[in-house]
Amino acid sequence: MPKELIKFRVKIADADVFIKTDSNKVASNALESIRRNRLEVEKYALKNPIFLKALSPIQINSDSPEVIKRMAYAAEFANVGPMAAVAGAISDLAVEKMIEHGAEIAIVENGGEISAISKREINIAINTGSPFFSENFGLRISPKDTPIGIGTSSATVGPGFSLGDADAATVVADNAALGDAVSTSLCNEVKTKDLKISIKKGLELAKRIEGVRGSIIIKDNIVGLAGKLPQIISIE
C-alpha cells in the first residue's frame, strides 16, 4: 500500500499555499522557492510598474528573472497581462525545485493555481463557484499526465480581477503558468448576456493555444468542455 503523502498549508503574504509530497525534506525547498520568486516579482514590478498593471502582453528584457520570463511567455500565448500568470509560474518553479531535491510526488497549489509532477495517481479538487454544481468536482491525474498545470479563473469566487462573468474557467495545460494565464483569458470571454455563444468562443480560443490540453467553463447551470481532459470525478 502506498505511503500516505505529506500535506501542509501555509500562508505566505496574501497567498494561501497548499503543498503535497512524498518527501518531507523538500518542503523547505518549495517554500524557499515560493518566497524567493514572490520577491523577484515584487522587485521587478517596482522597477517596471507597467508589468504590474498591464492587461495585455508586454516585452521584457532577456536578463529578467526566470519567474518574470515564464509569466511574460504565458501571457503572450493567452493575450493577457503577465500578472495573470504569476501564481501559476511560482507554483511551477516550486514543483521543479522539489523534484530537483528528490521528491517523486510534488504538488503545489498557489491561490488555486496547481502545478504537479507525480509518479502516483492523484485527485485534484476544483471549486466551480456555481450554486448549480457540487464544490466536490475534481480531476483524476495519472502519472502519464504529468508534468501538468491547472489554472482556474472566476468572476464570482476569490479576489482575482476578471473582465468576464464565468463562475469558473479551468484550463489544463503543460504548465501552471500557461493554465493560469489562459484561464483568465477564457473567463474574460464569458458574458452573461450572450452566455452560450461566449462559452463556445472561450472554448474555441483555448483549443487554438499551444500547450493547452483541455478546458472547462462553468456559468450558472451551463458547462462547456473542450480538448483532452483528465477523468472528471467527484471529490468526497
Q: What is the pLDDT along the chain (236 residues), one digit of tens a residue?
A: 567 888 989 998 888 999 999 988 898 999 999 999 999 999 999 999 999 999 999 999 889 999 999 999 999 999 999 999 999 999 999 999 999 999 999 999 998 899 999 999 999 888 776 666 655 678 999 999 999 999 999 876 655 556 667 888 999 999 999 999 999 999 998 887 888 899 999 999 999 999 999 999 998 888 899 999 999 888 76
1 domain residue, yes or no: no
CA distances from 102 to 21, 66, 130 (A): 10, 22, 39
Instruction: Extract the C-alpha cell encoding 56.
Output: 495585455
Contact criterion met (CB below 8 Å) for 168 and 216 = yes
Interatomic CA distance for residues 117 and 132, integer angstroms:
32
User: Cell numbers of 148, please?
Assistant: 501538468
pLDDT score at 13: 85
Per the domain annotation, does 79 fall within a domain? yes
According to DSSP, the β-strands at 212-219 and 148-153 are unpaired
Note whether 141 and 149 are within 8 A (CB): no
Provide the number of structural domains found in the chain: 1
Nearest to 102 by CA among 30, 45, 153, 37: 30
Q: Is residue 116 part of a domain?
A: yes
Domain limits for position 185: 6-234
Please report whether residue 185 resides in a domain: yes
Q: How many CA atoms lie within 13 A of 223 on its CB side?
A: 12
Spatial neighbors of 187 by CB under 8 A, at least 6 apart, are: 153, 154, 155, 162, 163, 164, 166, 169, 202
Secondary structure (3-state) at 203: helix
Answer yes or no: is 213 within a domain: yes
CA distance 224 to 100: 37
In this predicted structure, what is the pLDDT of residue 156? 67
Q: What is the pLDDT of residue 192?
A: 75
Asked if residue 130 belongs to a domain, the reply is yes
Residue 86 inside a domain? The answer is yes
CATH number assigned to the domain comprising residue 75: 3.10.520.10
Phi, psi dihedral angles at 19 (to 5 degrees): -125, 135
pTM over the 0.85 mark: yes
